[in-house]
Structures are given as structure tokens and as C-alpha cells.
């Protein structure tokens, strides 16, 4: 059975989940599956139970002036707080080198963003997502390892030597005389130029899409799932960013504040809070912009590539945010609604053989439950 929009996925080969792949995910991925299961019982279930207490208040808030005020101020207030807090940390020479200090950031932000999502959600269908938070937490913790691995790989591939060759050309290039806040945004903007083209390639080059599909496999958007990226993408991006870092050489404290700003913007990129972002959506890659980016069809989903800023999309003609509509909540990969959702499955997915027609056996339940199933694509019998 064909479905509307299938043609658009012709350049998006995705792995088939044959029986041996499912067994590999189950048995080879056993240690990861156990950690995931523990995370689910120790963190995710108690957290969801606590957050559910807010549901009554959430309905009471609907249509109130307080809700409207919060919708307008939450994003700019967080941005301002991150900026002030970032400079405070930089002055006190705190760095995000250790996983412990870095892990504190999502914990602090999550403490208020997660309740706000529950209190004023964009979509009530996105409030809980099976075991996805457990996987996202594992992705976050393993991110430090993969960034370390990227540094090692850069040495092996002589990229470190290339950076050393480039460095002398960068001296005096960075405008350290402009205000520090402007430096932070300039650094993010330049870095985002590289992210824009990398992200666009991840969507448009079929081989690269295999790895980026892990990020698009999510069935709901909430504050933590910006972290979900395949390690190969994480490592590739870290190597790519080494070049602008080497050429620009911004001061360490600017990089430090920029990292904090990126984390804050990243959380609002995926957050399920129903915010009134207005002109902010023409500056940053947040809110509805990124909801459209997660659309299951390529026609809409291949847009809004910006990491933090959206200006490169506006400039290069890939901006999509129609004024008179809001995005729906049936996100995911239209042609692969049963994409693996376990940590082991996500790591393995890009290396599985291609399938011509995407989808999976109709009787295979999604490991993420039926939540957020995409109705536009009727899963077709997989040819094994
Ligand atoms: Zn993408
Ligand atoms: Zn995303």
C-alpha cells in the first residue's frame, strides 16, 4: 500500500529491522537495555508520577492572564538568566570540563522546564513518551565520552595538526573589543553557519541521513530530546567545529557562556511548553520552527536547520514557519514509524542494510508504546 508523501522519501534510505537486527538489539545490547530499564524505574516513572500531580492545575491555568504572561516571558527570562549566570560562572573560572558540572545544567533547567511543560503544554500527547527519557539521559551521559573520543580521533586523523597550522592565521581575527555579550552571539552565529550546512547535508545526503535519523525518530518533542543524536554525528560535528574554533580563537569565557546559551536555546528548541515566541522565532531556532523540522514528511521537515539561530535558514531559503498556522504533533519519520527506540537499537540502526520500502511488520508493537503513532503512513510489510 502506498501512502501520500512516500515519493519524498526516495532519497532517504533507512535501515530495515530484520529478525537478526532485533536479536542483536536485544542480546548484544543487553547491558544497555538493563541500564535503560533501571533508568526507567529509578528516574522516569517516579518523575512522571510527580509531574502528573500538576495536571489539575494545568487545566485551571488555561485561558488565564497568568498563563499568557508566562507564555511571553519564560523564554527571554531564561535567555537573560543564562547570560548573567554564564558570565558569573566564567568570572569564577568554573568550566564544563567535568561531566558532573555539565550534568548540573540540564538538572537545573529541567527542574523548572519539566513542570512548566506539564503546566502549559503545547501538546498533551507529548507529556509522556514511554522510556524515551531513560534513553535521552543515557545519550547525555555518553556524550562526554564521545566528545573525548572526537578529540582522540582528531589526533589520529592529524586534524589537530591542521588546527595548529590554522591557528596563526586566527590571531587578531576575533573582535575582542566589542561588548562581551555581542561576542557570545557572534561566536554562536559563526558556529551555527557550520551547523546549518552540516545539518542540511545530514538531511539531503542519503548516507548521512542514516545517522541523523536517530534524532528524528522521536515521537514527541520535550525539553531533553535535543540530546538524542547518533554518536557518529556527535563525533563528526565536534571535528567540523574544530576549524572555526581554531580560526576564530575567542576567549575561553566567551566559549563558556556560549555553551550555556546553546544549552538553554537547545532546551527551548525541543520544549513542549506552549510559548508565545513571536519575533524570537525569526531570530532563534526554537518553538514552532523546530516542530516543523520534525514533521514526518520531507517537504516540510527539510527546513529550519539552524542549531541556535534561524537567520541562516532565512538567508538560504530553508525557513518554514507559516504565519497563519501552528504545527501538528504527529512527528517522526513518516516512512519508518517503528524505528528502533532503545539505546542499543539507535546505535545499531545506521549500520543495518537498506530497505526499499520502509515500515515494519504491522504486528510489531513500537517499543515506545502506541503513543504518537504517525497516522499518515500505513506500515508496509517489510521485505526480509
Ligand atoms: Zn534534522
Ligand atoms: Zn530536533
- Ligand 2 midpoint to CA 191 (Å): 17
| Ligand nearest to the Cα of 305, by number | 1
| Ligand nearest to the Cα of 212, by number | 1
- Ligand 2 midpoint to CA 225 (Å): 7
- Ligand 2 midpoint to CA 262 (Å): 13
Q: What is the pLDDT of residue 233?
A: 92
Read off φ and ψ for residue 380, nearest 5 degrees.
-100, 150
- 6 within a domain of the structure (yes/no): no
- Ligand 1 midpoint to CA 379 (Å): 22
Q: What is the pLDDT of residue 174?
A: 84
- 4 within a domain of the structure (yes/no): no
The model's pLDDT over 194-235, given as tens digits with 9 standing for 90+, comes to: 999 999 999 998 889 889 999 998 989 999 888 889 999 988
- Ligand 1 midpoint to CA 237 (Å): 13
- 93 within a domain of the structure (yes/no): yes
- 357 within a domain of the structure (yes/no): no
- Ligand 1 midpoint to CA 62 (Å): 32
- Ligand 1 midpoint to CA 238 (Å): 17
Cβ-based neighbours of 207, under 8 Å, separated by 6 or more: none
Q: What is the pLDDT of residue 379?
A: 32
- Ligand 2 midpoint to CA 172 (Å): 35
Q: What is the pLDDT of residue 313?
A: 97
**Distances 275 to 69, 118, 227 between C-alpha atoms, Å:** 10, 13, 21
- Ligand 1 midpoint to CA 245 (Å): 23
- Ligand 2 midpoint to CA 298 (Å): 14
Number of structural domains in the chain: 1
- Ligand 2 midpoint to CA 290 (Å): 6
C-alpha grid cell, residue 302? 527539510
- Ligand 1 midpoint to CA 338 (Å): 18
Least Cα distance to 291 among 336, 326, 242, 254 occurs for 326
pTM of the predicted structure, to 2 decimals? 0.83
| Ligand nearest to the Cα of 304, by number | 1
Cβ-based neighbours of 161, under 8 Å, separated by 6 or more: none
Q: What is the pLDDT of residue 155?
A: 65
- 197 within a domain of the structure (yes/no): yes
Least Cα distance to 337 among 354, 356, 351, 358 occurs for 358
Q: What is the pLDDT of residue 357?
A: 35
Contact (CB, 8 A) for 132 and 341: yes
- Ligand 1 midpoint to CA 270 (Å): 12
Rounded to an integer, what distance in angstroms lies between the CA atom of residue 198 and that of residue 204? 10
- 217 within a domain of the structure (yes/no): yes
| Ligand nearest to the Cα of 195, by number | 1
- Ligand 1 midpoint to CA 69 (Å): 31
**Distances 115 to 129, 227, 308 between C-alpha atoms, Å:** 15, 19, 23
C-alpha grid cell, residue 361? 511488520
C-alpha grid cell, residue 278? 513571536
Range of the domain at 315: 35-351
- 13 within a domain of the structure (yes/no): no
Read off φ and ψ for residue 324, nearest 5 degrees.
-95, 15
- Ligand 2 midpoint to CA 178 (Å): 32
- Ligand 2 midpoint to CA 294 (Å): 6
Cβ-based neighbours of 97, under 8 Å, separated by 6 or more: none
Q: What is the pLDDT of residue 221?
A: 94
C-alpha grid cell, residue 261? 546559551
- Ligand 2 midpoint to CA 195 (Å): 13
Rounded to an integer, what distance in angstroms lies between the CA atom of residue 174 and that of residue 82? 23
- Ligand 1 midpoint to CA 53 (Å): 33
- Ligand 1 midpoint to CA 47 (Å): 28
Block mean pLDDT (10 aa), the chain, length 384: 43 58 77 87 89 94 95 93 86 66 70 92 92 86 77 69 69 84 94 94 90 91 89 89 79 86 89 93 95 90 95 96 91 77 86 52 36 32 30
| Ligand nearest to the Cα of 270, by number | 2
- 302 within a domain of the structure (yes/no): yes
Amino acid at each position: 500500500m502506498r501512502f501520500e508523501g512516500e515519493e519524498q522519501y526516495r532519497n532517504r534510505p533507512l535501515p530495515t529491522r530484520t529478525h537478526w537486527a532485533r536479536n542483536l538489539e536485544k542480546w548484544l545490547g543487553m547491558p544497555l537495555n538493563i541500564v535503560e530499564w533501571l533508568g526507567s524505574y529509578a528516574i522516569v516513572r517516579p518523575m512522571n508520577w510527580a509531574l502528573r500531580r500538576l495536571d489539575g492545575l494545568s487545566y485551571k491555568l488555561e485561558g488565564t492572564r497568568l498563563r499568557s504572561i508566562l507564555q511571553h516571558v519564560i523564554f527571554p527570562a531564561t535567555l537573560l538568566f543564562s547570560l548573567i549566570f554564564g558570565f558569573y560562572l566564567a568570572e569564577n573560572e568554573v568550566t564544563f570540563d567535568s561531566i558532573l558540572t555539565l550534568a548540573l545544567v540540564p538538572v537545573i533547567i529541567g527542574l523548572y522546564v519539566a513542570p512548566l511543560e506539564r503546566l502549559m503544554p503545547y501538546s498533551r500527547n507529548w507529556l509522556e513518551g514511554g522510556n524515551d527519557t531513560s534513553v535521552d539521559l543515557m545519550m547525555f551521559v555518553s556524550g562526554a565520552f564521545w566528545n573525548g573520543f572526537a578529540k582522540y580521533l582528531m589526533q589520529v586523523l592529524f586534524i589537530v595538526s591542521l588546527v595548529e597550522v590554522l591557528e596563526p592565521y586566527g590571531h587578531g581575527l576575533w573582535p575582542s573589543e566589542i561588548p562581551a555579550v555581542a561576542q557570545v552571539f557572534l561566536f554562536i552565529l559563526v558556529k551555527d553557519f557550520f551547523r546549518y550546512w552540516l545539518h542540511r547535508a545530514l538531511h539531503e545526503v542519503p548516507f548521512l541521513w542514516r545517522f541523523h535519523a536517530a534524532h528524528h525518530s522521536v515521537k514527541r518533542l520535550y525539553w531533553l530530546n535535543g540530546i538524542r543524536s547518533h554518536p557518529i554525528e556527535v563525533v563528526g560535528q565536534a571535528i567540523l567545529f574544530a576549524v572555526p574554533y581554531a580560526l576564530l580563537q575567542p576567549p575561553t569565557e566567551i566559549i563558556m557562556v556560549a555553551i550555556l546559551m546553546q544549552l538553554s536555546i537547545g532546551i527551548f528548541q525541543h520544549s513542549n511548553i506552549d510559548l508565545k515566541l513571536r519575533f524570537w522565532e525569526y531570530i532563534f531556532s526554537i518553538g514552532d520552527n523546530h516542530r516543523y523540522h520534525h514533521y514526518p514528511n520531507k517537504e516540510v521537515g527539510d527546513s529550519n536547520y539552524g542549531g541556535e539561530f534561524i537567520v541562516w535558514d532565512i538567508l538560504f531559503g530553508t525557513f518554514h514557519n507559516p504565519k497563519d498556522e501552528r504545527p501538528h504533533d504527529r512527528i517522526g519519520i513518516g516512512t519508518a514509524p517503528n524505528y528502533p527506540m532503545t539505546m542499543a537499537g539507535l546505535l545499531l540502526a545506521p549500520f543495518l542494510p537498506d530497505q526499499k520500502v520502509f515500515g515494519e511488520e504491522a504486528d510489531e508493537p513500537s517499543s515506545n508504546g502506541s503513543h504518537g503513532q504517525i497516522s499518515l503512513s500505513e506500515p508496509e510489510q517489510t521485505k526480509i
